[in-house]
Chains A and B, each alone.
Chain A
Amino acid sequence: MSEQKIDGFELKPGFKGMASDTGSDQTMFKGVHWGKAMMWIFLLSDTFVFSCFLISYMKGRGSTIVDWPNTSEVFSLYVGGVPVPLLLIAIMTFVLITSSGTMALAVKYGYEKNRKMCGWLILATAVGGLTFVGMQVFEWSKLIHEGVRPWGNPFGASQFGSFFFMITGFHGFHVSIGVIFLFIYTYKVFAGHYESKKRGWFTKMKGDYVEIEILGLYWHFVDLVWVFIFAFFYLW
């Protein structure tokens, strides 16, 4: 941001800069693309959604009359007959965080107009996201197989299943939406829509590589939320 120049306006650093940007005309966030500002504000709103979910979970877990299931047992995988706690979750988290890395690289190559690299990296991100969702399906089916249901489970308080399926489901839904968009953008990048300024199918608007960054913001957010879910569900 610091190198950016805006005609007739001096961008100052720090709090003073923020005050003078706020007091100026036209834009509050100087040089920030409309879509990018929108995504930040959407993510703020979405943060409140996940916060409400997690706070409800804490309240629910704190006030239930039956003991909460022992999560390190429930979530462990058996490798050669030995239970390894958090094994699957560790792999899932690793895959998701890695996909955040490829996403960040895709943004970088996008801005460098390196179409091929950008496309492959978005595709890699999409595949990472898909792997994550696949492993989540595996985890769900394993738990369902063991008798965990939204309305009850053999390990303890019935709210365990309720909150687990609702919150990981809501997060998984976010990841799935992200994966769909990643595939769409993979196509758009490889087909060169940003170079030819082809108009979008629905919006009829011309695209730009900034869209990759906007999608990246969403993807990193979904990642960050996972870190919280991981901490609250699996480590608590």
Chain B
Amino acid sequence: MSDEYDNNKSYQAQSSEVMDGSTGSVNPDIDYVRPAEVGEQDLYHGHSFIEKWVFCQDAKVIGVQYFLTAVFTGIVGLILSWLMRLQLGFPELAGFMTAEHYYQFVTMHGMIMVVYFLTALFLGGFGNYLIPLMVGARDMVFPYVNMLSFWMFFVAVAVLMASFFVPGGPTGAGWTLYPPQTILEGTPGSGMGILLMLISLSLFVIGFTMGGLNYMITILQARTRGMTLMRMPLTVWGIFTATVLAMLAFPALLVSAIMMTLDKVLQTSFFMPTILKAGEVLEYGGGSPILFQHLFWFFGHPEVYIVALPAFGIVSDLISVHARKNIFGYRMMVWAIVGIGGLSFFVWAHHMYVSGMNPWFGFFFATTTLIIAVPTAMKVYNWILTLWRGNIRINTVMLWCLGFIVTFVNGGITGIFLGNVSVDVPLSDTYFVIAHFHMVMGIAPLMVIMGAVYHWFPLVAGKMLHEGLGKWHFWITFLGAYSIYFPMHYLGFIGVPRRYFEMYDSPYMTSAVGMNEFISIAAFIVGAAQFILVFNIIKTLKTGKKAEQNPWKANSLEWYTSTVPPEHGNFGERLPVVHRWPYDFSVPGAKDDFIPQTTAPSEVIHTEVEKT
């Protein structure tokens, strides 16, 4: 067949092959890299427009498809948050909104942002695009399954969006979907809305499993020659560990979705206790609502780290590149990612302190929760030590990274408050919790996404995004996000409950009203500022200046492709051979301030050394 990759010769060659086209002198003794274990990957190149851009098997195109779909749902989530803020800040302007609408917007905003936006963007978007490039593979190992994964996600999003248009509207049970109220009449969207939500989640899990298997096997079994696990960029480590978490945590979501679907459709009573409604006993009885909470949070807590770990990884790489310094404590960073991932499976019940449980149980989960602060703090120290005495470039990417560190520390510290049972109980279900998780898993990962977009856009599109617009985008978002969430901590302390449509004449009304107006105005501005990026991207694609190859002088393999943007197959005729980690920046005595991963040791040894 003609669509095969035409060089099917494997790299089972002598060590002189190690030259891999680099110019430096080669010393076989110190430059030796083991020959390839497996032959060339058999790639199917699309022929038609549909095969190239729609049902495409190229991980890079799939990554962009994931990215755009996730951004679309993210914009829907953003608009929902505007509507919520309009009601909270200026209820007189939001006359069209009923309490039911408000609950539906809260629910859909939460679910969209956590699952369909952040998870899909980090793992589906960045994962697909970067994993094969960074580990030196031609593509994901199962391109066809990868394509199915995206389309499954696409259908999941379509089903989710369809729930806006069914009778009764989308579910309004809160993104946690706690039974029994989720499927009982009286909750908005308890008919078709919740059903479509559960179907959509199940489709998402199936689609993600297909993608996740690809990410894991590509990283474990398809690295290029010389690429050991401890030479992988931290981005890959973050995405890998997040994928492992997802593969083990999503089953709990799938099972709870199936069981709740049956409760809804077939009147089973998995989660439904005996319920009296207007003096009448409903047909349900004997089920356990707490069981759902356990299943949901067994998924829900690792989910937080599914979003956070890729952000940790990506930001490490961005900081290192733009501070021209090797990442401080690489191995510590890797083990911290793995450790956080492992611990995240033993903390889920800290979301359930107010659900009622044995005090010893609460004590156990408080302990494990606080232990997570240790590896997390290690990471923060390491980011700061990477910056310390670095040759820092204050460009847009670096600004987003610095913004991330500050925001993450802020959200992390409030997490320590909420991890303790006795502090959590009074703060539970107040705006303090809203402020905490938006800081730590909303704004912080979003800052990393923005930094990553500015960093990798030259690779994806071959053009540089406008720096000035980028800085406006950053400062408005950063200051605006603080204007939104800092006051919310205070609102939480004075006891303003979350998920309330209206405050009525509560004693804290007077101080909360002004603050709510202020927060809402800030939220409108920050939301609108995100369209600066959209404008920047469109403008750049039309008139932006062409990017040189590797504009940031980075070391990792994605910048060393045969063409920019990389074509299908990524690396041209020969796969790169890796000799070092991706963090050799500002090495004393080296010719440049960066040494690409593909540079052989002898090339560095033989450069003229200027003693400093």
Contact = CB atoms under 8 A, between A and B. Distances in A.
A66 B269 CA distance: 13
Interface in A162-186: 162-163, 166, 170
A41 B270 contact: no
Interface in B225-263: 225-231, 247-248, 250-252, 254-256, 258-259, 262
Contacts of A7: 12, 34-35, 37
B125 to A, nearest CB: 21
Contacts of A37: 217, 220-221
B222 interface: yes
B42 A59 contact: no
Interface string A23-51: 11111111110110110011011101101
A205 B224 contact: no
B575 to A, nearest CB: 10
Contact of A45 (B209, B217, B295): B209
B144 A41 contact: no
Contacts of A48: 247-248, 251-252
Interface in A190-230: 199, 202-206
Interface stretch (B283-291, B365-373, B520-528): B283-291
A69 interface: no
Given A28-B221, A45-B248, A151-B268, A204 B44 contact: yes
Nearest to B249: A48
B42 A159 contact: no
A25 B223 contact: yes
B291 A41 contact: no
Given A34-B221, A41-B213, A45-B248, A159 B270 contact: yes
Contacts of A158: 268-269, 285-286
Contact of A159 (B216, B267, B283, B287): B287
Interface centre among B37, B216, B230, B250 (most CB of A within 10 A): B37
A143 interface: no
Interface in B557-579: 578
Contacts of A63: 286, 288
Nearest to A28: B220
B270 A60 contact: yes
A27 B37 CA distance: 8
Contacts of B262: 150, 162, 166
A162 B37 contact: no
Contacts of A30: 37
Size class of the A contact interface (CB-based, 8 Å):
35 or more
Contacts of B286: 63-66, 157-159
B142 interface: yes
Contact of A150 (B35, B255, B268): B268
B1 interface: yes
Contacts of B38: 26-27
Contacts of A154: none
A56 B217 contact: no
A92 to B, nearest CB: 23
B499 to A, nearest CB: 27
B184 interface: no
Contact of B227 (A25, A35, A46): A25
Nearest to B12: A7
B141 interface: yes
Given A25-B34, A166-B262, A204-B144, A38 B226 contact: no
B217 A25 contact: no
Contacts of A8: 34-35
Interface in B267-284: 267-270, 283
Contact of B255 (A49, A66, A199): A49
Nearest to A27: B221
Contacts of B267: 150-151
Interface residues of B, number: 56
A174 to B, nearest CB: 13
A131 B250 CA distance: 32
Contact of B144 (A27, A66, A202): A202
B93 interface: no
A224 B38 CA distance: 32
Contacts of B247: 41, 44-45, 48
A205 B144 contact: yes
Given A7-B35, A34-B217, A66-B286, A25 B226 contact: yes
A15 interface: no
Interface string B36-55: 11100010100000000000
B217 A26 contact: no
B29 interface: no
Interface string B171-196: 00000000000000000000000000
A137 interface: no
Given A34-B217, A41-B213, A52-B251, A23 B291 contact: no
A9 interface: yes
A38 B248 contact: no
Interface string A3-31: 00011110000000000001111111111
Nearest to B255: A52
Contacts of B226: 25
Contacts of B287: 60, 159
A26 B224 contact: yes
Interface of B: 1, 3, 12, 33-38, 42, 44, 141-142, 144, 209, 212-213, 216-217, 220-231, 247-248, 250-252, 254-256, 258-259, 262, 266-270, 283, 285-288, 291, 295, 298, 578
Given A28-B221, A159-B269, 10 more contacts: A23-B230, A25-B227, A26-B34, A29-B221, A37-B220, A42-B209, A52-B256, A64-B286, A151-B269, A157-B286
What are the 3 A-B residue pairs with the smallest beta carbon separation, nearest first? A48-B251, A162-B268, A52-B255
24 contacts: A7-B37, A24-B228, A25-B33, A25-B231, A26-B34, A26-B223, A27-B223, A28-B229, A29-B221, A31-B37, A38-B217, A41-B247, A44-B247, A45-B212, A45-B248, A48-B252, A52-B295, A151-B283, A158-B285, A158-B286, A162-B266, A162-B270, A166-B258, A205-B44
Interface of A: 6-9, 22-32, 34-35, 37-38, 41-42, 44-46, 48-49, 51-53, 56, 59-60, 63-66, 150-151, 157-159, 161-163, 166, 170, 199, 202-206
